[in-house]
Amino acid sequence: MIYLCATPIGNLEDITLRVLRILSEVDLVAAEDTRQARKLLNHYEIHVPLVSLHQHNEAARTEQILGWAAEGKQIAVISDAGMPGISDPGGRLAAAANAAEVDITVLPGANAALTGLVLSGLSCDAFFFGGFLPRKSTERKKALEAVRSLKASLIYYEAPHRLVSALTDMAAVLGDRQAAAARELTKWYEETIRGTLGEITAHFSTTAPKGEFVIIVDGYTESVPEGTDETDIRRAVLDEMDAGASKKQAIKSVARRSGLSKNEVYQKALDLPTDL
């Protein structure tokens, strides 16, 4: 059996009794960083052989782990923090184990994305986890465009030195939505900054971002026109544009939602700017 085990994301108490038991019972632990893992295991007085499993040896090591599991060895897999496989090694091993019909299971526990989402106060009904956004602004904006109209909270991991540029691109592509930046979760100096993307960007432009961050952004919400008179329709078009739609997209969407033809909406919005 292969056990993918969640480990703490900062607070060493955030590990389950089951994970501790399995870590002390297995023949071998495959860890993203063996030195980090040794510190964790020493803390719980667990002494077990360790091998590395990181992004540079994942393919070869996966084959080896499957071989050991087929020989009857019990193997636990841990990453540096949180759930293996979530922006961490482990996913490829799970896929390979399933394909090779090797028994694999997950021992749940700490995860920064879900902790940040619940703490943000934004809707947890539906969410999209985007991992780390691309480093280059043009690619980052493309990735954000693709989720602009998702009616789900958006969750991203971000490094402190890219936080402000990521927030700036988010506001440009998604509109100035409600959001939260949660840092150093589960640690005693955990902090969550809430507000619009613009407000959070302004905060971190004067206070240097430090530590590990999760960014959570409100999902897309269609503003339903209250009526079909000119004021309602113009307001609905402007709301859509404010959320990042082009004028053409906004007219199309408002026409669909209001029951008016595109031309009727177009006529009412004629003198609105093409760009906000």
- Interface residues with ligand SAM (CB under 6 A)? 9-10, 79, 81-83, 86-88, 111-113, 157-159, 182-186, 212-214
Shortest Cβ 119–ligand SAM spacing (Å): 10
Residue closest to ligand SAM when measured from CB atoms = 82
Shortest Cβ 96–ligand SAM spacing (Å): 19
Using CA atoms, how far apart are residues 119 and 252, in angstroms rounded to an integer? 36
Q: How far is CA 175 from the centre of its chain?
A: 19
Shortest Cβ 86–ligand SAM spacing (Å): 4
Strand, helix or coil at 195? strand
Q: For the chain, state the CA radius of gyration.
A: 23
Shortest Cβ 115–ligand SAM spacing (Å): 7
Residue placing its CB nearer to ligand SAM in the complex, 28 or 106: 106
Shortest Cβ 82–ligand SAM spacing (Å): 2
Closest CA to 5 of 39, 37, 42: 37
DSSP per-residue string spanning 46-91 = ----EEE--TTTHHHHHHHHHHHHHTT--EEEE-SSBSTTSSSTTH
Residue placing its CB nearer to ligand SAM in the complex, 100 or 119: 119
CA distances from 267 to 40, 166, 248, 262 (A): 65, 37, 12, 9
Residue placing its CB nearer to ligand SAM in the complex, 41 or 251: 41
Residue placing its CB nearer to ligand SAM in the complex, 72 or 189: 189
Residue placing its CB nearer to ligand SAM in the complex, 111 or 253: 111
For 28, the enclosing helix (H) or strand (E) is strand 28-31
**What angle, 0 to 180 degrees and rounded to 10, lies between the N-to-C axes of helices 58-70 and 91-99?**
40
Q: Give the type of residue at 21.
A: R
Shortest Cβ 149–ligand SAM spacing (Å): 25
Give the tokens for residue 205. Answer: 């432009």
Residue placing its CB nearer to ligand SAM in the complex, 91 or 195: 91
